[in-house]
Amino acid sequence: MKHQIRLSKHTYVVTTDFEEAIKLVKIILDRKYEEEPPKNIAELIRHHLIIGTKESELKLETLARNYLPAGSGFDDGTRIDIRNSSKDLVILHSKYHHMDEHGFYCGWSQMRILVRWLESGNFDFDIIVDNYGRDDALAPCMKEMDFMYWDDVFADVLSAPAPNASK
């Protein structure tokens, strides 16, 4: 059985051996990375998800630890859902620790950030709050400003220039 994998509008890999096809895809992606390295953190995350090796998983964990939101309300950090993410959709998980008007912690919002790529090559994202409306104690703490803050934080982080990391 022949396997045909389309990498872009112009690049195809055709082979009868699926393992060989995967190796060829990784070689082509490595060459593409050398020619045009990821411009921002979102592209770098996507690049390492596509590579899919154990080494790239370790690099993703390091990227999450060093570049994704941690602190300033995101007290539990942000992690990349490697298992459920793909080249078309990166899933991030985070929690936000809310404060009331007196400065006391009053609950957590659990969220998923879904980063997807547009045909233009740019990315967009949605923030889904998993426990929104389900936690009555949290309702008085949640403010519209929190949502705007989360949007700004993730937009800034994901579009920040990618570090000069090796493949």
Rounded mean pLDDT, 118-136 = 79
pLDDT number for residue 48? 92
Residue 101 structure tokens = 């008007």
Rounded mean pLDDT, 154-161 = 96
pLDDT tens profile 76-124: 999 999 999 998 999 999 999 888 888 888 888 889 999 998 888 889 9
Residues 6 or more apart from 6 whose CB is under 8 A from it?
Answer: 12
pTM, entire model: 0.74
Domain regions of the chain by residue span: 1-36, 37-159
Work out the pLDDT band at 36, boundaries 50, 70, 90: confident
Work out the pLDDT band at 167, boundaries 50, 70, 90: very low
Quick check: 166 and 44 in contact, CB under 8 A? Answer: no
Work out the pLDDT band at 25, boundaries 50, 70, 90: low
Rounded mean pLDDT, 33-41 = 77
How far from each other are the two terminal CA atoms of the chain, in whole angstroms? 32
pLDDT number for residue 166? 46
pLDDT number for residue 107? 83
- Is 70 exceeded by the pLDDT of residue 136? no
d(CA 57, CA 1): 30
**What stretch of H or E contains 144?**
helix 144-159
Work out the pLDDT band at 74, boundaries 50, 70, 90: very high
pLDDT number for residue 10? 47
